[in-house]
Structure 1
Amino acid sequence: MTNDTPKTIQIFLPHGDPRGIRVAEITTRIVQVIEVPRSLLPEFLKMPESDQVALYFLFGEAEDGADPKVYIGQTGDLRARLAKHNKEKEFWERALILISRTNSLTQTHALFLEWCCLQAARKAARYRDENGNSGSKPHTPAPLEADCREIYATGHTLLATLGYPIFTPVAKPLSATPPDELFYCRSAGVDGRGMYTEEGFVVLKGSFGQRAHGRSIVGMPAERQRQRLLESGTMQIEGETMTFERDHLFNSPSLAAAVILGRSSNGWIEWETKDGQTLDAVKRQNTRIA
């Protein structure tokens, strides 16, 4: 429920440190998202914003280097809830808290937003959620649900702006992707499809590569990444191949190619359009200054 209209977003640093607590808002709306490093949680709990009904997200990196983790919750007693999570949950490193500048969120808002956000996060599949059962959709009057949908859309934008695109899939649907934006990596026992995006290179679900790998990646990031993807279930072994069970974002085309081919690779050359144009030719050599 987001759109591509221009927006002005303000990020306030209450302590002047860009690595510390950050407060983000779209200047024409009442929703704020506050990012709090775990080490600064005591400082946040002294702020008046911590005394509100809130929706919150706890983010942390996975120990196996695979998909990062998130826990989504809501509460009418934010100070007590976050203090409890600080004592009992180990995985998280940063909390992001969604509140209303006018203190107008109710428990009914928060319950619906928790359910809505958990469904959206699971659909996007960027993060492994720590919630367990998501429960059923809470009963919410239609006017209030409409408010919640607007709050969700604002939260979507602010979370992504702060570096947490939790509700955005790593790749656009194939139905919305022009054929010339799809790239292929193929050889004996290898059939990869992918997209070059603003964040990196996405290998698409159903792609498969060689189970065996060459000496050129032994001890290298590509070998370690292969093992992590197998351990997390992103890839599954099927006979002599390894198949992607879901879309996966790599930070470079070359790492994506090396993982799927099982050897050291230049992804700018290995990934080609269906007409045989390399990723390099399409995305780098074709750049023109107007």
Structure 2
Amino acid sequence: MTSPNASAVAIRTILLDGTPHGIRIVDRLDWTGTCLVFGRADYPRAKARPELSRTGFYLLVGPDPSKPDRIRMYIGQGEQVRARLDEHLRKKEFWTAAYVITAKDDSLDRAHAAHLEARLVARARETELAVLDNGNAPALTSLGEWGDIAMAGFLDEALTMLGLLGVSYFDQFAADPAQESAPARFETYYLKSGELVDCKGREDADGFLVFAGSFARRSCRKMIDSYGALREQLIEDEILVEHDAGRLRLKRSHRFKSPSAAASVMVAGSRNGLTAWKDEDGSTLKVNQEKRAAAAGADVLVPAGPATSVCGASGLAAPASEVQEQ
């Protein structure tokens, strides 16, 4: 039996409709908060939920109308969230899903909600991982030393819930890859090609993050159409900007869906990201992935059982080494 990881978190989800895409409640036993998730089409039924009569903050998420490949997001708060959502249903057409964070004991007040909203808007503006629909940046008002600490902890827990649900647009590591809070299990990789391409990045659970300041080749070579379209979109969005006659520079860190997408866009030609990205010792991402998998496999215990439970082709009991490999 494996020992639980000290940093492991137990989260529970209730599927109110019995389906993974219906109305859901996500929380954890040792947190006072709760997250209600529903699609726009389910809002008429979600309105009856008690969570929407409480004070809290919420996110409205959907494809950006002018850039369908990007996500648009609105961050709001209210003393009674339901009233605000009623208004947004009439006035905001882009959103397809809502994430409402409240407290199970209704302990959040308007000052708490406004404080959390301001923190989230500031973080979203910093990371630029989604197109923010908020017109103004609300001022961050201090709640006093104790209140600020308590709300920082509450927000950290909320972001864990949202990340589990795929809402990872507040990842500070994406905005500042040098910060020490980046998970240690994700090492840094490098991509170099001639004198023009010089990139640094990191594999993570959501794809491959290329750090701000990385240089890409300006002239485009033959590449997969989807990668070419992505590159053009990054240039249009001024994420890849002109640096000099031969190079483009990544203005801010960008998370690609795969190492190959990251390598191809930066090199301006098709590349296998698993072999193109290398660590400081020259080992490829592919080699390191295989090493980690092999090391993890060595720690897996194969339950002992009767030798005759697995048979070779002859019908005789197979050797123990074959039992483990099958």
Instruction: Tell me the TM-score normalised to structure 2 length.
Output: 0.80
Question: Residue type matched to 2:221 in 1?
Answer: G
- Does residue 247 of structure 1 match 2:253? yes
Q: How does 1:131-210 map to 2 (within 5 A)?
A: 131-169=134-172, 171=174, 173-174=177-178, 176=180, 181-188=187-194, 189-210=196-217
Q: Which runs of 5+ in 1 are unaligned?
A: none
Question: Residue type matched to 2:177 in 1?
Answer: P
- Give the aligned partner of residue 233 of structure 2: 228
- Give 4+ residue runs of structure 1 displaced > 6 Å after superposition: none
Q: How does 1:33-44 map to 2 (within 5 A)?
A: 33-44=35-46
Contact map agreement 1:57 1:72 (CA 8 A) in 2: yes
Question: Residue type matched to 1:144 in 2?
Answer: G
Quote the Cα distance in structure 1 between the aligned partners of 2:179 and 2:108: 37
Question: Residue type matched to 1:118 in 2?
Answer: V
- Give the aligned partner of residue 281 of structure 1: 287
Quote the Cα distance in structure 2 between the aligned partners of 1:215 and 1:47: 53
When structure 1 is superposed on structure 2, of 61-70 and 12-21 the one drifting more is 61-70
SS of residue paired to 1:215: coil
Contact map agreement 2:57 2:75 (CA 8 A) in 1: yes
2:79 to 67, 76, 81: 76
When structure 1 is superposed on structure 2, of 243-252 and 133-142 the one drifting more is 133-142
Q: Alpha carbons of 1:286 and 1:14: their partners in 2 closer, same or farther (altered >3 Å)?
A: closer
Question: Residue type matched to 1:229 in 2?
Answer: L
Q: Alpha carbons of 1:264 and 1:113: their partners in 2 closer, same or farther (altered >3 Å)?
A: same
Quote the Cα distance in structure 2 between the aligned partners of 1:44 and 1:231: 38
Q: Alpha carbons of 1:204 and 1:106: their partners in 2 closer, same or farther (altered >3 Å)?
A: same
Deviation at 1:165? Answer: 2.2
Deviation at 1:195? Answer: 1.0
Q: Which has the larger radius of gyration?
A: 2
Q: Alpha carbons of 1:230 and 1:27: their partners in 2 closer, same or farther (altered >3 Å)?
A: same
Q: Which runs of 5+ in 2 are unaligned?
A: 1-5, 299-326
Deviation at 1:137? Answer: 1.9
Q: Provide the identity percentage.
A: 29
Quote the Cα distance in structure 1 between the aligned partners of 2:292 and 2:34: 41
Q: Alpha carbons of 1:271 and 1:81: their partners in 2 closer, same or farther (altered >3 Å)?
A: same
RMSD: 2.2
Quote the Cα distance in structure 1 between the aligned partners of 2:179 and 2:140: 29
Contact map agreement 1:125 1:169 (CA 8 A) in 2: no
When structure 1 is superposed on structure 2, of 118-127 and 33-42 the one drifting more is 118-127
Quote the Cα distance in structure 1 between the aligned partners of 2:77 and 2:289: 43
Question: Residue type matched to 2:199 in 1?
Answer: G
Instruction: Tell me the TM-score normalised to structure 1 length.
Output: 0.89
Deviation at 1:224? Answer: 0.5
